[in-house]
Structure 1
Amino acid sequence: MTADNTGGLSRHETELRAWMSGWYDHAVSLGFIRPPFILDDATALRLEGYFNVGLAPADAVSAIFGVVH
């Protein structure tokens, strides 16, 4: 991965941060989380997996907080 002009972050890292920001905003708007929210390592890895397979942030909110049947 090559660094871009965002403080030495790779393109993947930059896109992941933007995606996670969208995830966070959506989760807050639905009332699943409230600021300040501290993301634990396990959830961060899970979210990165959802990002890597192409889920939209809103779909990842459903995957994290949705009811399991």
Structure 2
Amino acid sequence: MSAEHSAELSKHETELRVWMSEWYDHAFSIGFIRPPFILDDVTASRLEGYFNVGLTPVEGVNAVFGAVH
């Protein structure tokens, strides 16, 4: 793995962690989750997908907890 590729992954992971933290804070602030909250693998994968397509953390909360039509 090249140093450039490694730095790219590190940047992605850092940005994803910030996004997830903002997602958690919003979900908590509006009462969708309460500590201790344990994120399962399926939801974590969904959230990473929402991050990858450019949803904001607020949009991610709505995607996970919103009503399905």
Same fold (TM over 0.5): yes
Where does structure 2 lack aligned partners over 5 or more consecutive residues? Answer: none
Residues 1-29 of structure 1: CA distance to partner in whole angstroms, max 9, x if unpaired? 3338xxxx700000000000000000000
Task: Give the counterpart letter for 1:16 in structure 2.
Answer: L
CA–CA distance in structure 2, aligned partners of residues 26 and 49 of structure 1? 18
Q: How does 1:1-69 map to 2 (within 5 A)?
A: 1-3=5-7, 10-69=10-69
Unmatched tracts of structure 1, length 5 or more: none
Give the Cα–Cα distance (whole angstroms) in 1 for the partners of residues 18 and 47 of structure 2.
12
Q: Find the structure with the greater CA-based Rg.
A: 2
Per-residue displacement from partner, 1:17-49 (whole Å, max 9, x unpaired)?
Answer: 000000000000010000110000000000000
SS at 1:68 equivalent: coil
Aligned amino acid, residue 17 of structure 2? R
* Alpha-carbon separation, structure 2, partners of 1:36 and 1:29: 14
**Greater relative contact order (Cα 8 A, min sep 6): structure 1 or 2?**
2
Looking at secondary structure, tell me which structure has more helix per residue: 2
